[in-house]
Structure 1
Amino acid sequence: MLIYDYDISNLISLAKSDQRYILAIDGLSRSGKTTFVEHLSKHLKKEDTEFFIFHIDDYIVNRSQRYNTGFEEWYEYFYLQWDVEWLRNNFFEKHRDCNHVELPYYNNATDCYETRTIKLPKVGLFIIEGVFLQRHEWKDCYNQILFLDCPREKRFASESEATKLNREKFKKRYWKAEEYYTNTFSPLNNADIIIKT
């Protein structure tokens, strides 16, 4: 389903069901995921609805595990940025029926972790936002997947001027990983809803 103007209220009923509903907000870097989730959270608060937001980038590994590893840069970004199996076992699968999760939040400034215990409501909408959410290890963990589709040049234009100067890094690390994800996992074909941003 391709949508240009998505009505957020479509998700309200899911959040008010008598069970947990796990929603993935997938999309490539700078496609508008965080903005979309912020907009959604405002609506959910107005409706006094139980929800919890998780950003997958809060759980990346430290720099030594994802830079200068000997692998190509795109491989480091796609395969080494997260401990994929650990997250499946200790994050994704626990959303089904656990009362709490203990997660290592990554601090970019210190390159260290802070373990946090998060109590999970018995019912409500659990929103997971991030890149590469439809990889094989995670894709069966959601009730619904929204994919935000945005052209590469438009996404790159939203980067800071300083960041844009290093276009070569985008080519080798980010864009090559995104192409691999798109070609290997077909996120546009497998998402329940596609939103043009």
Structure 2
Amino acid sequence: MKHNWIINYLLQSRKSDHPLIIGIDGLSRSGKTTFVHQIENELIQKNVRYHTFHIDDHIVERRKRYNTGKDAWIEYYFFQWDIEWLTNYFFLLMKERMMLTLPYYDNLKDVQKLQSVDLAEVELIIVEGVFLQREEWREFFDRVLFLDCPREKRFARENERVKTELEKFQTRYWKAEEFYMTKVNPIEKANFTIRT
């Protein structure tokens, strides 16, 4: 892994009996999942007990995030996840609780299903996803890495069918991303920024 030094730095950052909580932040298609797989492989080699959460596993049902009467970008940024619930029952409890019960989204059935996650033996928790440094969540991370990738490069990584939905990108995704980059300034707030 070309960023092997990051793992060593992160592991040295752990100073308590609680698991170290790492955020892998970045806009859509910036390479977060690939980067997390590289980190996981390194953690396995170092025999570090970890668990990874993908924030998109916890989105809400479509009726709560589409056709709400609000602008599409607002739906995406503010309604895609139940921000308050995740704050109180995921982020707030992650360091303290040995067992979490979380809603996982089933895309085919458009429902959330509760699943339990045992964190009793975990030394490091990775949370991967977009908008992780929003004001409600940033304080829960011990360290955050932001993957910075130009929009043109990210869009080129979309599949051809999705690329035909340009208006959706313009009105929903890109406006929300611009809001996040301007209001939250995740590059400035992150502990590390990595160009992908």
Tell me the equivalent position of 2:140.
141
What is the Cα deviation at residue 187 of structure 1? 0.3
Task: Please show how residues 67-86 of structure 1 align to structure 2 within 5 Å.
Answer: 67-86=66-85
Contact conserved, 1:15 with 1:50, CA < 8 A, in 2?
no
Q: Which runs of 4+ in 1 moved over 2 A?
A: 5-19
Contact conserved, 2:51 with 2:122, CA < 8 A, in 1?
no
* Alignment match of 2:3 (pick from 6, 12, 16): 6
Q: Distance in 1 between matches of 2:69 and 2:129?
A: 25
What is the Cα deviation at residue 37 of structure 1? 0.4
Q: Distance in 2 between matches of 1:34 and 1:121?
A: 24
What is the Cα deviation at residue 15 of structure 1? 6.7
Contact conserved, 2:18 with 2:96, CA < 8 A, in 1?
no
What is the Cα deviation at residue 17 of structure 1? 6.8
What is the Cα deviation at residue 46 of structure 1? 1.3
**Does 1:61 find its partner at 2:94?**
no
Tell me the equivalent position of 2:107.
108
Q: Distance in 2 between matches of 1:107 and 1:149?
A: 29
SS of the residue 2:93 aligns to? helix
> Which string of whole-angstrom CA distances, capped at 9 and with x for unpartnered residues, describes residues 95-145 of structure 1?
121111000100111101221111113451100000000111101001001
SS of the residue 1:94 aligns to? coil
Higher relative contact order (CA 8 A, sep 6+): 1
Q: CA RMSD in A?
A: 1.5
Tell me the equivalent position of 2:176.
177
For these two proteins, the number of residue pairs brought into alignment is 193
Q: Distance in 2 between matches of 1:115 and 1:40?
A: 27
Q: Which amino acid aligns with 2:22?
A: L
Tell me the equivalent position of 1:25.
24
SS of the residue 1:153 aligns to? helix
Task: Please show how residues 29-40 of structure 1 align to structure 2 within 5 Å.
Answer: 29-40=28-39
- TM-score scaled to structure 1, two decimals? 0.93
Unaligned 5+ residue runs, structure 2? none
Contact conserved, 1:6 with 1:195, CA < 8 A, in 2?
no
Contact conserved, 2:49 with 2:121, CA < 8 A, in 1?
no
Q: Which amino acid aligns with 2:83?
A: V
- TM-score scaled to structure 2, two decimals? 0.94
Unaligned 5+ residue runs, structure 1? none
